[in-house]
Each structure stands twice: as structure tokens, then as C-alpha cells.
Structure 1
Amino acid sequence: MKVICDEKGIQKAINVIKKGGVLIFPTDTVYGIGCDPYNKEAVEKIYEIKSRENTKFLPVLAYSKDVAEQIAFFDEMSKKITDKFWPGPLTIILKVRDDKLKKSLNIKDKIALRVPDHECTLALLKESKFLVGTSANISGQASFTNPDKCSKDLKNYDLFLDGGKINSKMESTIIEIENKKIKIIREGSLNEEELIRN
């Protein structure tokens, strides 16, 4: 089922999330696939849809930094960099503080978090607080910015929230802070120079 990302569509999407469904939705970088991160069955379904190894952890989107602090520990440098780049195309790996998420997401002590800069995604997150938010593609293949191509490529999701074509060329940059230095795990929309300069 495909719906437009308007008030009605967002409400349908929120209902799908609450019922343990899997949703495809637009973000500021690429189309994402997600679910309630506390729902282990829904998380496992995403791994199946993406043909992704379940040893590779799934990132989580949060409504705001304040909300993100409920599930992860931020040191001073993490706070400073997320203040600069959130909402935006920056994913940061932090120590997880929520034991329930460790079980549902099959993670040990770290979680990848991002606050996206997209009206539609933030409207979803305002209600749900958190969403699994990984790229809506078969693992190892290119990510999608075009909703028509994305909806044809993936199967077995519950709802497609169409936000139109996304004007972005890259996924988010993934970083981790180690010994008070920025370690880039995956360079995306933000490069090392931009991160260090700020």
C-alpha cells in the first residue's frame, strides 16, 4: 500500500508502526525502511526484506537530541557535534543506555543514532519518538531517492509513505568518537573537513 506523505498518510504510517508493521518513508538523504525499534519481530522482518545479515546493526532515528539522550550516552564532544549537525545527515555511534533496545535490536553496547532533517520523517518521529531507519534497498545495492524505483525494488513491507523525489546524492555520514577524535565509519553527505572545521 502506498500513501502520500500528508496528514492522513502520516497517521496511517503511525498506525502501522504501532501494530508492529514495516514502513518505507522519505528522509533528508534517501528513502528509509523502518519500524518500532522495540519490536523484535518487526526488526527481524527488515533484515529479511533487505537480505541483510543480522550481525550488521540497524541505525535508529530519533525525534530530537533530547529524545536521543533517553537511549544513549553523550559525552561532551558528541553533544557538541550533534548540536552542530542535527537535524541533518550525521549518524553517530554511541553507548546505548536502554537494555530493552539491546534485546530487540540485537546489539551489545553501541547504537547508531540520527535526527533527520525532513518534515515527513519528523512528523512520524514526533509521535513514535524512535524509528529504525536504514536505507530502503537490498543490502549491498544502491540507495533510492526516487519513490517509484524504490517501491518496485522492495517487497513485503506494510506501507510506503511517498514524499516525492529526494534531492540528495548521498546517505548520512557515520562517525564514532574515539579518544576525543572523530573516526569516520562511512563518509556520506558530510566529509571529514566539514566535521573537523565545526
Structure 2
Amino acid sequence: MLKVSCNDEGIEKASQIIKRGGIIVYPTDTVYGIGCNPYNIEAVKKIYEIKSRNISKSVPVLTYSLETAEKIVYLDKFSRKIAKKFWPGPLTLILKVTDEKIKQSLNLENKIAIRVPNHKCTLELLKKCDFLVGTSANISGNQSSTDPEKCIRELYDYDIFVDGGIIHSKGESTIVEIDNSEVKIIREGSLNKEEILQT
């Protein structure tokens, strides 16, 4: 396992590893994440193995901007308004997936969880690779981590660790599904429903 800093050199190394089908652990604005190229079926399978995650649970995806997100999802007027207000930030939206390849590689039915993280290092990385699996870097069922040392002790078999130091956040992202302009909170995290409804 290679450990790099959140600088230009580290980000470049990490992006090369992602392009070669590797697995990375990296900081976000909420917690440390583990990811890979979401179009690489073998790499996605390996993430499930590393985390001991049930294959029936889909993994979220991170992207660089609202415009990039629109390459793979459909946003209605209300979803777009919410995304514009909270992206980059700790809000994950469950949206209709429009990209057949990613649907297949992530074993999705017709929806995907997606967000734009508010973390300079991760955004620079996403500029180089567009999309990244964005599940938390922990064994399934364990608490997600903001401490790089805890991640290093808990997880094995990935290729590179991008060290962004301790992350100061209010916790994981809030996961929201929007149905006919109604906001459904799937998981409450850093944002609460009232904040989202003030959009």
C-alpha cells in the first residue's frame, strides 16, 4: 500500500492508479472514502470484498460538478435546485440513472446515489477521473472514520492511501430521495430536513 499526501503529486498518482483499475482510500468533506473507477466491474467487486459489504447494497458515486453528474443522471427542476444549493457539500441525491454502462457495472436498477464533495483534494482528483465510487472507508457495520490512522488500521488490500489528515465534519452526508417534489430523507447526516426544505 502506497501512502501519498493531498498535493498535486499525490493526486496525480492516485488518478493513475484509478485509471489502471486500482482501489484508493481518500478524504472527503465528511469522512474517509474508499473508491475506484465505477465503470470497472472487477474494481467495484474488490471494494465489496474489502468492506465485507453485502452485494445487494449499492454504492454511491462522487463527481466533480452538477454538469458532470448530468452525464449519468436525470435531474428534474426541483432536484436541480437542491443540487445547486448544496453541491459541493454533504448532500447525496438519489437520482434516475441514465448511463447504461454504470448501471451495469454498479449493478443498479434504475437509481444511483450521487454527490459533489466539498473537499479541494477530492475535487482535484475528480477533475482527472470524472466519477469515483464514494462509499465510506470502513468495514460494513462499523463506524465511518474521519481519522486516517483508523482507516489504515481497519482496511487492507487497497492500492493507495491519500492522506488528508483528520477531517473536521458533522458526520456523513445526508441521503435524500426526491419524489414529486417531496423530500424523503433516507439517511440523516450533516444536513437536516429543515435545512434542505429551505431551498
The TM-score bracket by the shorter chain reads: over 0.9
1:194 aligns with 2:192: no
Runs of 4+ aligned structure 1 residues displaced above 4 Å come to none
Counterpart residue number, 2:84:
83
Q: Which amino acid aligns with 1:126?
A: K
SS in 2 for 1:160: strand
TM-score, normalization by structure 2 = 0.98
Q: CA deviation at 1:169?
A: 3.0
Counterpart residue number, 1:173:
174
Q: Work out the CA distance in 2 between the residues paired with 1:4 and 1:179.
A: 43
Q: CA deviation at 1:5?
A: 1.1
SS in 2 for 1:24: strand
SS in 2 for 1:3: strand
Q: Which amino acid aligns with 2:53?
A: R
Deviations, residues 34-74 of structure 1 (Å, cap 9, x unaligned)? 00000000000000000000110000001100000010000
Trace 1:77-156 onto structure 2 (pairs within 5 A): 77-156=78-157
Q: Which amino acid aligns with 1:3?
A: V
Q: CA deviation at 1:178?
A: 1.0
Q: CA deviation at 1:179?
A: 2.2
Q: How many residues align?
A: 198
SS in 2 for 1:10: helix
Q: Which runs of 5+ in 1 are unaligned?
A: none
Q: Which amino acid aligns with 2:96?
A: K
Q: CA deviation at 1:149?
A: 1.0
Q: Which amino acid aligns with 1:82?
A: A
SS in 1 for 2:161: strand
Q: CA deviation at 1:176?
A: 0.4
Structural RMSD (CA): 0.6
Counterpart residue number, 1:184:
185
Q: Which runs of 5+ in 2 are unaligned?
A: none
Q: Which amino acid aligns with 2:158?
A: Y
Counterpart residue number, 2:64:
63
Q: Percent identity?
A: 62
Q: Work out the CA distance in 1 between the residues paired with 2:133 and 2:142.
A: 19
Q: Which amino acid aligns with 1:76?
A: K
Q: CA deviation at 1:168?
A: 1.1
Trace 1:35-46 onto structure 2 (pairs within 5 A): 35-46=36-47
Deviations, residues 115-152 of structure 1 (Å, cap 9, x unaligned)? 00000100100010100001000001001101011111
TM-score, normalization by structure 1 = 0.99
